[in-house]
Amino acid sequence: MVSIIWAVLIISGIFWAGLSGNVDLVTTTIFSQATRGLTAGLELIAITAVWFGVSRVAEKAGLLTGLARLVTPLLRALFPSIPPGHPSLGSMAMNLTANLLGLADAATPFGLKAMNQLQELNRQPDTTTPAMITFLVMNSACVTLVPATAIALRASAGAAEPSVIILPAALASVIATATVLVADRLLRRRLFGLR
């Protein structure tokens, strides 16, 4: 899919330039844009290094486990089909907390573990359970308190205040998450007759 979008952008650009008698522009654009991309990418290395360094310290300091403990009671309400104390609740808490802090790399291993533990409760191993769907939609709607990537990109582009987007982004993600959770609950009730 990425291939198609990428190719469409290039091919349409080349034909458009050609049809409007500007085909020379293609070559100059390729070189100038590749150079600009390189510069932008190099600046990104610096800011990614800082953010990854800080988030590693945060992980080691136990910020993740501490927050996850606060999240767990909330999860019990969102996943009524999982027996209390099931290990999947812990993994999901860690995954969602890591997402909340913008630690995408830390989130994935916990997410995979949670899926494995949810699969143990699954009586039809080739089909999603209601709990899995809830977990997947929460993951893709992605409640984020610290959108680290976006802040890093803004900082390396020289924004006056790179982090001003934190609260708008967090509120937007809360709106999206609330919407999918409500939709999920309605669908679950209709299709499975579950709470």
Q: Which stretch binds other proteins (CB under 8 A): 14-22, 67-75, 76-84, 85-93?
A: 14-22
Task: Confirm or reject binding of residue 61 to other proteins (CB under 8 A).
Answer: yes
Handedness of CA 73, 79, 83, 89 (dihedral sign): negative
Q: Considering only residues 69, 80, 179, 189, which one is a binding residue for other proteins as defined by CB under 8 A?
A: 179
Whichever of 56 and 69 has its CB closer to other proteins, that residue is 56
Q: Considering only residues 74, 163, 189, 194, which one is a binding residue for other proteins as defined by CB under 8 A?
A: 163
Helix (H) or strand (E) holding 124: none
User: Contacts with other proteins in 21-50 (CB under 8 A)?
Assistant: 22, 25-26, 29-30, 32-34, 36-38, 40-42, 44-45, 48-50
**Cβ atoms of 143 and 100 closer than 8 Å:** yes
Instruction: Please state the closest distance from residue 16 (CB atom) to other proteins, in A.
Output: 4
Per DSSP, helices labelled H in 61-103 are 63-78, 87-100
**Cβ atoms of 47 and 152 closer than 8 Å:** yes
Taking CB under 8 A as the rule, which mask of x and - marks residues 80-119 in contact with other proteins? ---------------------x--xx--x--xx--xx-xx
Q: Considering only residues 14, 71, 78, 121, which one is a binding residue for other proteins as defined by CB under 8 A?
A: 14
Instruction: Please state the closest distance from residue 111 (CB atom) to other proteins, in A.
Output: 6
Task: Confirm or reject binding of residue 69 to other proteins (CB under 8 A).
Answer: no
Q: What CA–CA distances, in Å, run from 131 to 25, 134, 136?
A: 53, 5, 9
Q: What CA–CA distances, in Å, run from 23 to 9, 35, 52, 109, 191?
A: 15, 20, 43, 48, 56
